[in-house]
Structure 1
Amino acid sequence: MTSAYREEKFGYQTDGLTEPVPEYQAGQEFGHHGHIAEDQLRRSLSARQVQMIAIGGTIGTGLFLGTGKALSTGGPASLLICYFIVGCIVFVTMLSLGEMAAYVPVAGSFCTFAGRFVDDSFGFALTWNYWFNDAVSTAADLVALQLVLQYWTDTFPWYALGLVVWVIIVLANIINVRAYGEIEYWLSLLKVLTIVIFIILSIAVNAGGNTTGTYIGGRNWRIDDAPFVGGIGGFASVFVTASFAYGGTESIAITAGETRDPARQLPRVVKNVFWRILLFYVLSALMIGLNVPYNYPGLSTKTAKTSPFTIAFTMAGSKIAGSFVNAVILTSIVSAGNHALFAGSRLLFTLGINGHAPKVFTKLTRFQVPWVAVLFTSICSGLLFGASFIGAGQLWTWLQNIVGVSNQLSWISIGIASLRFRAGMKVQGKEHLLPFKNWTYPWGPVLAVVLNSFLILVQGWSCFSPSFAPVDFVSYYIELPIMLIMIVAWKLIKRTKFQRASEMDLVTDVYTKEDIEPEEKGWKGKGKRFGTLLCF
Structure 2
Amino acid sequence: MAIGPTIGTGLFIGAGQALAVGGPASLLLSYVILSILTFAMTTSVAEVSTHLPSPHGTLVTNGYKYMSKSLAFASAYLRWYTLALFVPYEITSAMVNLGLWKPGSTIAIRLVIITTIVVGCNFLPERIFKSSERLFTAIKIGTMATLFALSLALGLGGVDAQPSWGFKYWKHPGAMNEYLVRGVSGRFLAFFQCLLDGSIAFAFAPELIVHHAEMPVSLMPSVGESAILSAGITGIVKADVAQTAFPYILSSLAMGVMAPFNDTRLTNNGTGSGFSPYLIGLKDAKIQIVPTIAMVALLLSAVASGRSFLYLSSRTLCAMSELGHAPSAFSTRNRGHVPYVAVVASALFSSLAFVSVKIPSTIMNTYLLRLVTSACFISSLVSCAIYIRFNRRLRAKGVAKRYSFSVQPFATYFGMAISTLLLLGGGLWAAPKGNLTVSRATRLIIAYVNIGVFSLLYLVHRFQKFVPVAEIERQMDMGGRNHDRAGPREPRTQKTNPHRGGSQCSPRGFWSI
1:16-415 aligned at under 5 Å gives the runs: 52=1, 54-102=2-50, 103-155=52-104, 157-209=106-158, 213-224=162-173, 226-230=175-179, 231=186, 232-252=188-208, 259-261=215-217, 267=234, 269-301=236-268, 306-314=275-283, 318-366=287-335, 368-378=337-347, 380-391=348-359, 392-415=361-384
Identify which of 468, 482, 507 aligns with 1:508: 482
Displacement of 1:494 in angstroms is 4.8
Indicate how the Cα distance of structure 1 residues 223 and 324 shifts in structure 2: closer, same or farther if over 3 A, else same. Answer: same
> Residues of 1 paired with 2:274 and 2:429: CA distance?
26
Indicate how the Cα distance of structure 1 residues 271 and 226 shifts in structure 2: closer, same or farther if over 3 A, else same. Answer: closer
Q: Contact 1:361–1:370 at 8 Å: present in 2 too?
A: yes
Q: Contact 1:151–1:326 at 8 Å: present in 2 too?
A: no
Indicate the RMSD between aligned Cα atoms, in angstroms.
3.4
Identify which of 436, 445, 451 aligns with 1:480: 451
What code does the residue aligned with 2:481 have?
V
Q: Contact 1:177–1:369 at 8 Å: present in 2 too?
A: yes
Deviates more, 1:125-134 or 1:248-257: 248-257
What code does the residue aligned with 2:142 have?
L
> Residues of 1 paired with 2:475 and 2:395: CA distance?
8
> Residues of 2 paired with 1:421 and 1:501: CA distance?
13
What code does the residue aligned with 2:425 have?
V
> Residues of 2 paired with 1:505 and 1:90: CA distance?
28
1:378-457 aligned at under 5 Å gives the runs: 378=347, 380-391=348-359, 392-428=361-397, 430-431=399-400, 434=402, 437-457=404-424
Deviates more, 1:403-412 or 1:465-474: 465-474
> Residues of 2 paired with 1:278 and 1:462: CA distance?
26
Question: Paired residue for 1:45?
Answer: none
What code does the residue aligned with 2:357 have?
F
SS of 2:178's equivalent in the other structure is: coil
Indicate how the Cα distance of structure 1 residues 174 and 269 shifts in structure 2: closer, same or farther if over 3 A, else same. Answer: farther
> Residues of 2 paired with 1:63 and 1:418: CA distance?
29
> Residues of 1 paired with 2:459 and 2:135: CA distance?
43
1:470 is the counterpart of 2:426: no
Q: Contact 2:45–2:206 at 8 Å: present in 1 too?
A: yes
Deviates more, 1:467-476 or 1:205-214: 205-214
Deviations 1:444-501 (Å, cap 9, x if unpaired)? 22211111001111232131246971121111111112212322332223599xx999
> Residues of 2 paired with 1:429 and 1:501: CA distance?
17
Question: Paired residue for 1:521?
Answer: none
Q: Contact 1:79–1:238 at 8 Å: present in 2 too?
A: yes
SS of 2:6's equivalent in the other structure is: coil
Question: Paired residue for 2:182?
Answer: none
What code does the residue aligned with 1:240 have?
L
> Residues of 2 paired with 1:277 and 1:377: CA distance?
27
Question: Paired residue for 2:464?
Answer: 493
Displacement of 1:80 in angstroms is 1.4
> Residues of 2 paired with 1:99 and 1:366: CA distance?
37
Displacement of 1:133 in angstroms is 1.0
What code does the residue aligned with 2:349 have?
S
What code does the residue aligned with 2:419 have?
N
SS of 1:298's equivalent in the other structure is: helix
Indicate how the Cα distance of structure 1 residues 60 and 112 shifts in structure 2: closer, same or farther if over 3 A, else same. Answer: same
Deviates more, 1:452-461 or 1:382-391: 382-391
Deviations 1:278-332 (Å, cap 9, x if unpaired)? 3322111112223421122422129998321223434555311221111111111
Q: Contact 1:424–1:502 at 8 Å: present in 2 too?
A: no
What code does the residue aligned with 1:386 have?
F
Q: Contact 1:427–1:501 at 8 Å: present in 2 too?
A: no
What is the number of equivalent residue pairs in this alignment? 455
> Residues of 2 paired with 1:218 and 1:153: CA distance?
30
SS of 2:103's equivalent in the other structure is: coil
SS of 1:508's equivalent in the other structure is: strand
What code does the residue aligned with 2:431 have?
F
What code does the residue aligned with 2:407 have?
T
TM-score by length of 1: 0.76
What code does the residue aligned with 2:23 have?
G
> Residues of 2 paired with 1:213 and 1:170: CA distance?
43
Deviates more, 1:227-236 or 1:388-397: 227-236
> Residues of 2 paired with 1:268 and 1:178: CA distance?
29
> Residues of 2 paired with 1:125 and 1:153: CA distance?
42
Indicate how the Cα distance of structure 1 residues 188 and 272 shifts in structure 2: closer, same or farther if over 3 A, else same. Answer: farther
Indicate how the Cα distance of structure 1 residues 222 and 500 shifts in structure 2: closer, same or farther if over 3 A, else same. Answer: farther
Deviations 1:41-71 (Å, cap 9, x if unpaired)? xxxxxxxxxxx5x242222111111222211
> Residues of 1 paired with 2:242 and 2:371: CA distance?
27
TM-score by length of 2: 0.79
Q: Contact 1:58–1:247 at 8 Å: present in 2 too?
A: no
> Residues of 2 paired with 1:474 and 1:304: CA distance?
19
What code does the residue aligned with 1:342 have?
Y
> Residues of 2 paired with 1:267 and 1:220: CA distance?
40
> Residues of 2 paired with 1:402 and 1:312: CA distance?
29
> Residues of 2 paired with 1:386 and 1:70: CA distance?
25
Indicate how the Cα distance of structure 1 residues 491 and 414 shifts in structure 2: closer, same or farther if over 3 A, else same. Answer: same
What code does the residue aligned with 1:66 have?
G
What code does the residue aligned with 2:374 have?
V
What code does the residue aligned with 1:475 have?
I
Q: Contact 1:136–1:403 at 8 Å: present in 2 too?
A: yes
What code does the residue aligned with 1:508 have?
N
Indicate how the Cα distance of structure 1 residues 160 and 166 shifts in structure 2: closer, same or farther if over 3 A, else same. Answer: same
SS of 1:105's equivalent in the other structure is: coil
> Residues of 2 paired with 1:168 and 1:237: CA distance?
34
Q: Contact 1:408–1:452 at 8 Å: present in 2 too?
A: yes
Indicate how the Cα distance of structure 1 residues 157 and 99 shifts in structure 2: closer, same or farther if over 3 A, else same. Answer: farther
